[in-house]
Structure 1
Amino acid sequence: MRAVIVETPGDVDALTIGEIDTPTPGAGEILVRTVASGVNRADVLQRQGHYPPPPGVTDTIGLEASGVIEEVGEGVTRWKKGDEVVALLAGGGYAEFFCVPEGQAIAPPPGIDLVSAAGVLEVAATVVSNVRVGCLKAGQVFLVHGGAGGIGTFATQYTKALGAIVAATAGSQAKLEHCREFGADFAFDYHEDWVDALKEATGGADMILDIIGAKYLEQNVKALKKGGHLVVIGLQGGVKGTLNLGLLLNKGASVAATSLRFRPAEEKAAICRAVEDEVWPMLADGRIRLSPETRIPFDDVRRAHEQLVGGDNVGKIVLVH
């Protein structure tokens, strides 16, 4: 089958299209012919050699994809050949076919085509699971960094639907306006003093969802309210930062870091069920709108990665097979 191959980690030139063996579904797994693949920051990190897959998982990049079931493995009960699914993957999405445990596949959102659906599940699963880690409640203040990206756009709408007061950071006027358009009560330019601006507007955050990591660690802790929760899900700003434990202690706050990719299959299946039960109805009734979407042909995967890291991208990028 055709797949994206990275023989030597590096820049976008490391991405090539080649032939690899088609996977065979094991017990409890399904084989899916790919229609589209979501493009994520984690894919870029893996291409660069900074985010290897878990042991036993294919080296092929791709954490989410959609398609039509080609074959079901022994013991599969929910699915049959010909069913349409979206899937949360530990790897393998940038390929003509992928295998996935049946619990990590769910029906696409009602009324949304398979191409657009390919870019929804990983974002939704990440946000839903981590909002639970952050113990967010209605009426509390939620801050998301990267508010104009796929995670940020979804997180803004989802937490708004939960009754939170939502703030976001972004790096341009166009992106700040995007944040407001998708429901942010406050949008702050991260080139400016967003910590003081957040405190002046809301008193601080009860939960921060952070894709930056080390670069923002000290500022994030300063921005938290007493009893607040910082949940780090990305390391775009590095892996080693300075943490003022005294300030954290005085606030009775917490810092957590999570990775969806390395969670056990049973945990991922439960998160997928939660997305299907909770998020899909929100998409159906309009409480959550799809992010702006850029569709790029599979063979132009290099362009997809260039656009994602270029700084001007808004919303979600999807590779169309």
Structure 2
Amino acid sequence: MRALTFDRIGTLDALALGTVPDPEPAVGEVLVRIVAAGVNPSDVKNVLGRFPYTTVPRVPGRDFAGVVVAGPDELVGREVWGSGKGLGFTRDGTHAEMLALPAGGVALKPETLTFEQAASGGTPYLTAFEAIERGGVTAGTTLLLIGLGAVGSAALDIARGRGADVIVGVRRPELAEKLRGEGIETVLLDDPGRLAATVHAHRPEGAEVVFETTGHWLPAVVPVLAVGGRVCIIAAPADGHVRVPVLDLYRRGAVIIGVNSLLHDVVASAASLEKLRATFDSGELSAPDPAVLRPLEDAITVYHDLNSGSSAKYVLVNQY
């Protein structure tokens, strides 16, 4: 099969596209013909050596959508999607034509999504789903969402589907105007020192939950919280450290919740994807925003583009 591989860690120069043997599923595993595979910033960081547990040589990639071609009879021929810890890190991943993984690690693909849409939604929707769940976001919950990348967009969709009261914070005025035109309450992220006053002008009691997706606004969002509020975080500054106004935090009885999708293996991830499948197919969730589609042959270029700062969501597509 054709596959992207890396044989050492620390440089994207280690990436190579070539032909490798097809994976052989073990007992209790399935073999999936990959139709589409998402590319996440963590895939790039993986090759660059940001994860100490990665072993090489390795096929990278976590997210996929495809068709089961071998395994339990009830799964053969089914359209599936998946993601999770291990793929691309300690076992070969999804940026290839075929993938072997535990049978419990695949979930049925939503019928309302194409393969490409499902592949683009794995990590972003799993991350957003965990933040929304652990943050306790339900109907009527006031949620301040900081940032509207792939994860933020997924969180917005999930939270609105639950009937939450959502305010979105973005940096670009033109995006703020676009969101307001769509009926989404929006605040502009221009001055961290003014954020709390701006939000309290909208919601005097503050936000019950803040989902900070950027890694740069944690100190500013603590004063935004209502009593007993929760802050979910998925990112940090480059050095991994930030000064937190602890006095404000404990006086509110507030908590910080770290969300890391790489803590969950493919089986646990499949269970969450099955819950998401039901909400997509019921119409509670809309399809993910369109991704940039590239053939597997362009994978190395995609990795370099992401490493150079591209914010696009890329999906690698196999052409059989």
Q: Displacement of 1:128 after TM fit?
A: 1.7
User: What's the counterpart of residue 87 of structure 1?
Assistant: 82
The structure-2 alpha-carbon separation of the partners of 1:142 and 1:311, relative to structure 1 and needing over 3 Å to count, comes to farther
Q: Which amino acid in 1 is paired with 2:135?
A: G
Paired residue total: 310
Normalised by the length of structure 1, the TM-score is 0.84
Task: Report what 2:3 is aligned to.
Answer: 3
Distance of aligned partners of 1:171 and 1:227 in 2 relative to their CA distance in 1, 3 Å threshold: same
Q: CA deviation at 1:236?
A: 5.6
Q: Kindly state the Cα deviation for residue 301 of structure 1 after the two structures are TM-superposed.
A: 2.0
Shift of 1:201: 2.1
- TM-score of the superposed pair, with normalisation by structure 2: 0.84
Change (3 A) 1:30 1:294: same
Q: In the alignment, which residue of structure 2 is the partner of 1:153?
A: 153
Q: How much does 1:123 deviate? A: 2.3
Counterpart CA distance in 2 for 1:93 and 1:271 is 19
**2:314 aligns with one of 313, 317, 321:** 317
Contact 1:32 1:68 in 2 (8 A): yes
Q: Which runs of 5+ in 1 are unaligned?
A: none
Q: Which has the higher contact order (CA 8 A, sep 6+)?
A: 2
Check if 1:300 corresponds to 2:301.
no
Determine the structure 2 residue equivalent to 1:232: 233
Offset at residue 114 of structure 1 (A):
1.3
Aligned-residue offset at 1:313: 3.5
Shift of residue 77, structure 1, vs aligned partner? 6.1
Q: AA paired with 1:164?
A: A
CA, structure 1 residues 23+266, in 2 after alignment: closer, same or farther (shift >3 Å)? same
Q: 2:25: which partner in 1?
A: 25
Match of 1:207 in 2: 209
**Cα offset, 1:229, TM superposition:** 0.8
* SS at 2:4 equivalent: strand
Which secondary structure does the structure 1 equivalent of 2:160 belong to? helix
- How far is the alpha carbon of 1:161 from its aligned partner? 1.5
Counterpart CA distance in 2 for 1:310 and 1:135 is 36
Q: Tell me the alpha carbon deviations over residues 77-134 of structure 1, each in whole angstroms, 9 at most, x when there is no partner.
A: 6411x22211123320112211222233222222332122211233222222221110
Q: How far off its partner does 1:159 sit?
A: 0.5
1:255 correspondence with 2:256: yes
Per the TM alignment, residue 237 of structure 1 is displaced from its structure 2 partner at its CA by: 4.9
Comparing 122-131 and 35-44, the one that deviates more: 122-131
Counterpart in 2 of 1:167?
167
* 1:28-39 pair list within 5 angstroms: 28-39=28-39
CA contact (8 A) 2:169 2:188 kept: yes
1:276 partnered with 2:277: yes
Q: Distance in 1 between matches of 2:177 and 2:316?
A: 26
- Shift in Å at residue 295 of structure 1? 0.9
Q: 1:142 to 1:122 in 2, by over 3 A?
A: same
> Deviation of residue 155 (structure 1)?
1.1
Give the drift of 1:157: 1.6
**Cα deviation digits, residues 184-214 of structure 1 (max 9, x gap):** 321423566444322322243211222333x
SS of 2:120's equivalent? coil
Within-5 A mapping of 1:86-165: 86-90=81-85, 91=87, 92-147=93-148, 149-165=149-165
Query: Among the aligned pairs, what percent are the same residue?
Result: 25
3-state SS in 1 of match to 2:123: helix
Please name the residue that 1:16 is paired with. 16
Displacement of 1:238 after TM fit? 4.4
Match of 1:64 in 2: 63
C-alpha RMSD of matched pairs (Å): 2.8
SS at match of 2:211: strand
Sort the Cα spacing of 1:208 and 1:280 in 2 relative to 1 into closer, same or farther, 3 A. farther
Give the conservation status (yes or no) of the 8 Å contact 1:36–1:118. yes
Give distance in 1, aligned partners of 2:183 and 2:79. Answer: 31
Listed as ranges, the gaps of 5+ residues in structure 2 are 88-92
1:12 CA drift (Å): 4.6
- Where 1:119 maps in the other structure, the secondary structure is helix
Which AA in structure 1 matches 2:105? Q
Identify the range of structure 1 (18-27 vs 188-197) with the bigger mean alpha-carbon deviation: 188-197
- Contact residue 157 and residue 182 of structure 1 kept, 8 A: no
